């Protein structure tokens, strides 16, 4: 069974969408990645940091999903990272209302001894210096995946470029890919990102799906058209969790298999947005995942015989 | 060989994009639909109207693509419909600079006798009363496809609802589907459109692809990610031409075959945007279409074994 090492926030979120509002609930990139990847046959562990205020029930939720939490530091007297945000009506954009770094301000990640030989590493959205520190503690991973966001482009450009140069796959949203490269065309943006280091580029387009690029090859995974999107928080992390979880389980990191991985990523994300926060992911059943994968098949698979037009 | 009857504008366009500017060039919905569908083994005809100023070379272009133009009325002393527009930097939005209805203002379409038994009818974007008049002249078509736009929602609502109630398929863009139904979710919008008449709903999302809906079934055709989109003019019409051309050739109007039709529509549209106006479509080769269909296959086809996660 492959080991998947995840670094990212384990945190509190307070979310407002057109459909409602939450108090402080469980959130954080590593939480979503962990819950999503827990549906695959892997040995996963989270490296993160929380304060004394973090409920044991939340930690128990992670362990009950088979996630090792030895790498989650609990700071006595400390307070957990907190983010609150409000989504606009179309749910595609949001305003950050408040960010309290708290214990995250002095986070020196320590990878547990047992996971330093992890074959798969998922560097969830965090300061690039923290991502880099985790990467340096891992011996010789088979595949390193990086997720990041525009905040680090604005505030830690050099560190970000440094960590980007050391990973195999980057997952990033479309506007961020444009910001990172100065290219509007995502095909051109991907090409510029290869030059920064990653051989594989995954560009997430929210409700418009995700693109996987590798050299001159492309693959597209749609988002599932939904009647209602309730709360997009964590969808990108959940995508990354499905993507890396599937790859870690299969052990196959070819482009062909990464196609399946982005479909799994998109499928897991389609559950995440159905309820507030981690609510949907906490109770997600394997049979539901399989049904959804069948929906993705019927949504995308066609059978054109290429003698169909005049050409042949 | 099935007959495809097309009604729509045959016109002059003047286009400005971030990449350049044209004088009066060949344009119009029926032109794009005709050129696109001409790549399938069908017997197609255009019903439209032009002025005396319309060059014979443009008409010859249509006939050289095997399109019957007996239904294109040439008004002596009249001037051809003219539209000019300027695209914004992202090419997703545009401003209309000028619209001269000219001969279109008094258009009474006459379907040539030889095409009143057409099995397939494509009602391109025009006043819904004109679309309706054409439909009333056709005996018992197997499939009627309607394309329309927000202009008619604003200016001819009742007529539009009337023609919508009489067609099998509607193709419409995402924002227009939202305007037509008052629903933000495209899944919900499609359901409301069924109630208006069409059994099949195709929602075009420009660079984000197209969705096909029928009852509870959905299919998604991506747009091909391109390095450069040069000019989006006519892309929606070209999509409609590929869609109906393929269906008319195959004669198969099942949902399964419509999946192929939206892929062909998307494929044809991906050529249209590569150059200004009809430039690319005028010289498109069958071998290029087949190559692009292969690109769509590799872009979308995957092979997940559903034993891949824990469920089975």
What's the residue count for chain B? 312
Which carries the bigger pLDDT value, residue B295 or residue A306? B295
Predicted local confidence at residue B306, as pLDDT: 67
Residue closest to A248 by CA, chosen among A76, A60, A2, A64 = A2
Per-residue model confidence as pLDDT tens digits over A80-92: 999 999 999 888 8
Per-residue model confidence as pLDDT tens digits over A157-169: 999 999 999 999 9
Q: Is B99 on the interface with A (CB under 8 A)?
A: no
pLDDT of A189 strictly over 50: yes
Q: What distance, in Å, lies between the first and last C-alpha atoms of chain B?
A: 48
Cβ contact, residue pair A41, B211, below 8 Å: no
Q: Which of B184, B263, B302 comes nearest A304 by C-beta?
A: B263
Q: Average pLDDT in the A244-250 region?
A: 98
Beta carbons within 8 Å of B263's beta carbon, 6+ residues apart: A302, A304, B221, B293, B296
Q: Average pLDDT in the A279-285 region?
A: 97
Residue A274's pLDDT band (boundaries 50, 70, 90)? very high
The CA distance from B211 to the nearest CA of chain A, in Å, is: 9
Q: Which of B209, B228, B299 comes nearest A218 by C-beta?
A: B299
The answer to whether A234 and A27 have CB atoms below 8 angstroms apart is: yes
Q: Kindly report the pTM of this predicted structure.
A: 0.94
Cβ contact, residue pair A289, B299, below 8 Å: no
pLDDT of A311 strictly over 50: no
Residue recorded with tokens 């045959």: B10
State the Cα–Cα distance between residues B94 and A252, nearest whole angstrom.
45
Q: What is the mean pLDDT of chain A?
A: 95
State the Cα–Cα distance between residues B275 and B94, nearest whole angstrom.
17
Predicted local confidence at residue B92, as pLDDT: 80
Contacting A residues, span 178-217, partner chain B, CB-CB under 8 Å: 184-188, 205, 208-209, 211, 217
The CA distance from B190 to the nearest CA of chain A, in Å, is: 10
Q: Average pLDDT in the B2-25 region?
A: 96
Residue of B nearest to A304 (CA): B260
Q: Which residues of A touch B209 (CB under 8 A)?
A: 208-209, 222
Residue A312's pLDDT band (boundaries 50, 70, 90)? very low
Residue A307's pLDDT band (boundaries 50, 70, 90)? low
pLDDT of B312 strictly over 50: no
The CA distance from B102 to the nearest CA of chain A, in Å, is: 37
* Residue A303: C-alpha distances to residues A132, A253, A299, B203 (Å): 45, 27, 12, 21
Q: Which residues of A touch B208 (CB under 8 A)?
A: 205, 208-209
pLDDT of A309 strictly over 60: no
Beta carbons within 8 Å of A309's beta carbon, 6+ residues apart: B39, B40, B41, B246, B249, B264, B286, B289, B290, B293
Predicted local confidence at residue A167, as pLDDT: 98
Which carries the bigger pLDDT value, residue A19 or residue A198? A198
Percent of chain A with pLDDT over 90: 93
Which residue in A181, A191, A222 has the most chain B C-beta atoms within 10 A of its own C-beta, making it the best mutation to test that interface? Answer: A222
3 state SS of B103: helix
Strand B43-51 with B143-147, pairing: unpaired
Cβ contact, residue pair A185, B226, below 8 Å: yes
The CA distance from A286 to the nearest CA of chain B, in Å, is: 5
Q: Which of A40, A211, A302 comes nearest B309 by C-beta?
A: A40
Predicted local confidence at residue A90, as pLDDT: 80
Residue of B nearest to A290 (CA): B306
Q: Average pLDDT in the A122-134 region?
A: 98
Strand B43-51 with B82-87, pairing: unpaired
Residue A308's pLDDT band (boundaries 50, 70, 90)? very low
For B221, list phi and psi in degrees, rounded to 5: -110, 120
For A172, list phi and psi in degrees, rounded to 5: -155, 150
pLDDT of B311 strictly over 70: no
Predicted local confidence at residue A89, as pLDDT: 83
The answer to whether B132 and B47 have CB atoms below 8 angstroms apart is: no
Predicted local confidence at residue B308, as pLDDT: 47
Predicted local confidence at residue B156, as pLDDT: 97
Residue B307's pLDDT band (boundaries 50, 70, 90)? low
């Amino acid at each position: 069974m492959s080991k998947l090492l995840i670094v990212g926030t384990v945190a509190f979120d307070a979310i407002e969408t057109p459909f409602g509002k939450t108090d402080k609930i469980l959130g954080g990139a590593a939480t979503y990645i962990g819950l999503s990847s827990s549906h695959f046959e892997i040995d996963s562990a989270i490296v993160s940091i929380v304060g004394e205020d973090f409920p044991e029930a939340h930690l128990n939720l992670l362990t009950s999903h088979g996630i090792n939490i030895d790498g989650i530091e609990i700071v006595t007297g400390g307070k957990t990272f907190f983010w609150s945000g409000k989504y606009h009506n179309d749910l595609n954009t949001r305003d950050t209302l408040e960010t309290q770094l708290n214990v995250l301000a002095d986070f020196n990640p320590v990878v547990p001894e047992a996971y330093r030989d992890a074959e798969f590493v998922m560097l969830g959205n965090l300061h690039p210096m923290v991502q880099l520190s985790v990467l340096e503690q891992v011996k010789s991973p088979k595949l390193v995946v990086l997720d990041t966001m525009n905040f680090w482009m604005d505030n830690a450009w050099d560190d970000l470029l440094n960590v980007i140069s050391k990973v195999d796959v980057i997952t990033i949203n479309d506007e961020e890919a444009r910001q990172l490269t100065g290219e509007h065309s995502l095909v051109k943006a991907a090409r510029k990102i290869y030059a920064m280091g990653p051989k594989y580029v995954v560009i997430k387009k929210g409700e418009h799906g995700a693109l996987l690029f590798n050299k001159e090859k492309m693959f597209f995974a749609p988002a599932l058209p939904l009647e209602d999107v309730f709360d997009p928080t964590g969808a990108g992390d959940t995508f990354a969790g499905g993507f890396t979880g599937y790859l870690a389980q299969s052990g196959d990191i070819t482009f062909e298999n990464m196609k399946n991985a982005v479909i799994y990523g998109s499928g897991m994300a389609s559950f995440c947005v159905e309820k507030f926060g981690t609510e949907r992911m906490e109770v997600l059943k394997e049979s539901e995942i399989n049904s959804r994968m069948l929906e993705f098949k019927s949504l995308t698979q066609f059978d054109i015989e290429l003698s169909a037009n005049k050409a042949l």
